[in-house]
Amino acid sequence: MSGHSHFSSIKHKKAAEDQKRGQVFSKLARMISIAAREGSDADSNSKLRQALSEAKKADMPKDNIERALKRGTGELDGGKALEEISYEAFLPGGIAIIIEGITDNKNRSLAEIKHILQKNGGKLAESGSVKWLFEQKGIITISLDNQTQVQDKESLELAAIEAGAENIDWDQASRGLEVYTKPDQLEAVRKRLEEKKIQTDNTALGWLPKESLHLDDKEKNTAEKIFETLDENDAVQDIYSNLHD
């Protein structure tokens, strides 16, 4: 859910932003409903806790959140019809991508995503032909500016390592740290960070490329446009690629 649009007309931009906002809320509602199937207690359900955290950051209305929770727990109709989907594909330039999402109609979503890819020179790949290029990891993002216990990059990195991080990556521009863990260690590392009074921003499982693909700016811009088009599809939640930033 990371697409961005720019318009010269303020009126058109406002309309587009309102539409995008509604789409984000719809995607978050699906995330919450799917996660709530595993239990409505966010303290014991890390998947739900993450979905609720994202909803809060997006200023999603409380009523929308409550409805999504009730759909997931079966108190309202609609939650059981939702299914998680995952597709593998190749884009021009040899870019490998994994598309994950949630839909209430698998056949429709498959047809829509296939059409987007074909229209932009991409193609769906057979199951497993892309994922072997990636590794699934637990990913915890931490902003240094949100911390009270640590005041510098080195202290934050040390705290992450002591908590059991498998690897770390510092982003100078955002003053943020990405902490990588084994999938089954994600929750344990998060809890150890909390015990150290480290405030985490996001916690999720994701796909990291084993090797990144370096392309020129023109090819990267083309890929970004395809990512944005895919992101505009209601069913698409996350897109992972081996394209180097």
β strands within 144-235, DSSP E: 167-171, 176-181, 202-209
Domains of the chain: 10-73 (1.10.10.200), 83-132+211-241 (3.30.70.980), 134-209 (3.30.70.980)
β strands within the chain, DSSP E: 83-91, 95-103, 123-124, 134-143, 167-171, 176-181, 202-209, 236-241
pLDDT by residue, tens only, the chain of 245 residues: 333 222 222 233 334 455 677 888 999 999 999 999 999 898 888 889 989 988 988 899 999 999 999 999 988 887 678 999 999 999 999 999 999 999 999 999 999 999 999 999 999 999 999 999 999 999 999 999 999 888 899 999 999 999 999 999 998 888 999 999 999 999 999 999 999 999 998 888 899 999 999 999 988 889 999 999 999 999 999 999 999 87
Classified as helix, coil or strand, 3 is coil
Q: What share of the chain is helix, strand, coil (3-state, %, to 5)?
A: 45, 25, 30
Amino acid residing at 173: A
